[in-house]
Amino acid sequence: MPELALPFVTTGAAAAGGAQAILPLVATGLAYDAGGQRRLGPLDLTIEPGRRTVLMGPNGSGKSLTLRLLHGLLQPGAGRIAWAGRPADQAIARRQAMVFQRPILLRRSVQGNLRHALQSRGIHGAAQTARLAAALAMADLAGFADQPARRLSGGEQQRLAVARALSLQPEILFLDEPTASLDPQSTWQIERLLQAAHAGGTTIVLVTHDPGQARRLADTVVFLHRGRIVEQTPAAQFFEQPASPQAQDFLAGRIVL
C-alpha cells in the first residue's frame, strides 16, 4: 500500500497544543440497558494511545453500542469511563471524532460539510482554509469541492466523512463499520486514510465484521459476544490462536449463536 501522509495529523497531545493527555481510555464495569434489558456488559476495556483497536463480533454483540458509549453518544447504565484518569468533559469530547457506517452528510457542498465541522470546533480563517484544502486533497475530492455532498458515490461520501473527521485532528477516531457497504477499491481508499492517520499518531477504534480488514488494520482485537468481551488480545495472537470458541467459529466462517 503506497504511503499517504496526512498534512495535519500530529501525534497525541501535541495536536491539542500540549494539553493534558486524554489516553489511555479505560472503561470499567461498563454496562448499557434498554427496554429493561441489559444490552451490554458489564465489560472492562482499555484503549492504549497510538494503537489500533478493532472490535469484532456477530450482529447484536454490542460493538456499535460500545463505540457509542466510549464516544459519549450514549450514557452507560453502569460503570465508568476514564480518559487518562479523568471523566469525560467537553474539552475531551472535542479531541475525538467519529465516522458512522452510513455517512451522515449535511445538505451542503463537499467543502460546506468540511467547513461546518471545522467551524464547530472553532477553527476559522487561514487555519480553516488550510485544513479544508488538505482534507479535500486527502480524500481525493478536490475536484468535487462545490458539488453537493449527497450526490457523491457511496465510497466518495465515506471518504469525505473520514476526511471531515480527520480534519478535526482527533487524538482518537472511532469508526463504526465505515466500509460495510463499499466495494474493494473504496475500502482500500478508506483503509489507506486510516493507516495514514495512525502513522500520524491518531488512536483508532474500529468496528468491523470483516476479518480481512481486521488483519490489515488491527494491533489489538476485542471480540464481543452477547454484550460481553470474550477475547481481548494482540491481533496476531487472535488470528493465529483464538482462545474463545465463539472467535474460533467466527474466524472459521461458522455461524456464531
Partner 1 sequence: MTQEFAAAFSLAWQLLASADPALREIVLRSLAVSLSAVSLACLVALPLGAALAVTRGPGRTALVLLLNASMGLPPVVVGLLVYLLLSRSGPLGALGLLYTPSAMIIAQTVLVTPIVAALARQIIADLHAEYDEQLRSLGLTPLATMRTLLWDARFSLLTVALAGFGRAIAEVGAVIIVGGNINHVTRVMTTTIALETSRGNLGLALALGLILILLALLVNGAVMALRFSGLKAAYA
Task: Give dist(CA 202, CA 53) in Å, integer.
Answer: 12
Q: Which of 14, 19, 104, 127 binds partner 1 (CB under 8 A)?
A: 104
Look up cell 459476544; give the residue.
225
Looking at the Cβ atoms of 51 and 115, the one nearer to partner 1 is 115
Told to check if 34 binds partner 1 by CB under 8 A, we report no
Told to check if 88 binds partner 1 by CB under 8 A, we report no
Q: Which of 84, 106, 145, 251 binds partner 1 (CB under 8 A)?
A: 106
Rounded to a whole number of angstroms, the minimum distance from the CB of residue 204 to partner 1 is 16
Residues 224, 225, 230, 231, CA torsion sign:
negative
Q: Which residues contact 159 (CB under 8 A, 6 or more apart)?
A: 139, 140, 141, 186, 189, 190, 193
Query: Per-residue string for binding with partner 1, 190-229, x by CB under 8 A?
Result: ----------------------------------------
Rounded to a whole number of angstroms, the minimum distance from the CB of residue 151 to partner 1 is 5
Q: Tell me the window of 30-38, 55-63, 103-111, 224-232 that interacts with partner 1 (CB under 8 A).
A: 103-111
Q: Which of 11, 20, 120, 241 binds partner 1 (CB under 8 A)?
A: 120
Q: Is 255 exposed, middle or buried (0-12, 13-18, 19+ CB in 10 A)?
A: exposed
Told to check if 86 binds partner 1 by CB under 8 A, we report no
Told to check if 107 binds partner 1 by CB under 8 A, we report yes
With residues binned 3-state (H G I as helix, E B as strand, rest as coil), the percentages for the chain, rounded to 5, are: 40, 25, 35
Looking at the Cβ atoms of 38 and 108, the one nearer to partner 1 is 108
C-alpha cell at 43: 465489560
CB atoms within 10 A of CB 3: 8
